Amino acid sequence: MFYNLRMDTRLDLRPADGYKSPAQIARVLTESWVAANAYCPACANRLDKLRDNTPVGDFACRKCREEYELKSKKNGFSRKIVDGAWEEMDKKVSGGLSPNFFLLNYDLRRMSVHNFFVLPKHFLLPGLIEKRKPLPPTARRAGWTGCNIILQDIPRAGRIYYIKDGRTEPRDQVLKNWKKTLFLRDQPPTERKGWTLSVMSCVDRLGKSDFSLDEVYAFEETLAGKFPGNRHIKDKIRQQLQILRDKGYLEFKGAGRYRLAR
């Protein structure tokens, strides 16, 4: 569990060392906080801070080799996450080589962590990586093209909270939530996996733990727009619900009714 949500403002962040902007200072403070407080959600081991500008990410677990990239901001994450170079990220996601993401938002006035969660890499698909406009010719890195991760299209199960609204989640629950969706790693980042994630998102939108097959059928038009090449949407919905049941994500209660597994 976390025992200190406050960031260590005693760190030596002198302008002479290059720490001039609020963004640079926030980066150092949040990285320091994660290094001191976080643990690997896959195995509960402590994390190693990687050297700056390491291509694979910011932190790594020495025990299970999971890698994590930290994104932090003073406001909450809602629709999109600003990330690095689009071409590089697109290749990583297509090849299943992207890191997991730690997402942290903090209270600037109190200099404390308000939310901290992990986005597992097995929730990422090429279609969730949005290409941004290239930088204009007048920019220092003219032509460079960044990307966004479309967080709003990722199922809620892809946000595994350590801290939510200033309250710490039990370590056992964090580890359990991580394991609950590991079955997604068995699927390559293709349309098939897109179907699984899309049906999970439809279930999220129902906003309840118990639901019926007919309620998920109500998203038929939405899913048809997302997968225009498929003419058997209801068959596909049933197939995905069965997969989620077999993987322990859902429980089948009979008579066309399901429940989210606890």
Q: What CATH number does the domain containing 247 carry? A: 1.10.10.10
Q: Are the C-beta atoms of residues 30 and 7 closer than 8 Å to each other?
A: yes
Is residue 15 scored above 70 in pLDDT?
A: no
How far are the Cα atoms of 82, 99, 118, 200 from residue 194, in angstroms, in the given order?
A: 22, 19, 20, 10
Give residue 169's pLDDT band: very low, low, confident or very high (50, 70, 90): very high
Q: Tell whether 35 is covered by a domain.
A: no
Q: Tell whether 228 is covered by a domain.
A: yes
Q: Tell whether 27 is covered by a domain.
A: no
Instruction: Kindly give, in sequence order, each residue whose CB lies less than 8 Å from that of residue 134, ignoring residues fewer than 6 positions away.
Output: 142, 143, 144, 145
Is residue 156 scored above 80 in pLDDT?
A: yes
Domain count, the chain: 1
Q: Specify the range with the lowest mean pLDDT, choosing from 52-56, 158-162, 193-197, 217-221.
A: 52-56
Q: Tell whether 221 is covered by a domain.
A: yes
Is residue 20 scored above 80 in pLDDT?
A: no
Q: Specify the range with the lowest mean pLDDT, choosing from 10-14, 15-19, 73-77.
A: 15-19
Structural domain of residue 194, as residue ranges?
Answer: 190-262
Give residue 18's pLDDT band: very low, low, confident or very high (50, 70, 90): low
pLDDT of residue 16: 42
Q: What is the pLDDT of residues 46-93, one digit of tens each?
A: 999 998 766 668 999 999 999 999 999 887 888 999 999 999 999 999
Give residue 7's pLDDT band: very low, low, confident or very high (50, 70, 90): confident
pLDDT of residue 26: 79
Q: Tell whether 222 is covered by a domain.
A: yes
Is residue 19 scored above 60 in pLDDT?
A: no
Q: Which two tokens stand for residue 237?
A: 């919905």
Is residue 257 scored above 80 in pLDDT?
A: yes
Q: What is the pLDDT of residues 83-138, one digit of tens each?
A: 999 999 999 999 988 999 999 998 877 788 999 999 999 999 999 999 999 999 99
Q: Tell whether 227 is covered by a domain.
A: yes
pLDDT of residue 56: 62
Q: Tell whether 254 is covered by a domain.
A: yes
Is residue 171 scored above 80 in pLDDT?
A: yes
Q: Tell me whether strands 67-73 and 100-107 are parallel, antiparallel or unpaired.
A: parallel
Q: Tell whether 36 is covered by a domain.
A: no
User: What global pTM score does this model have?
Assistant: 0.90
Residue with tokens 């901001």: 73
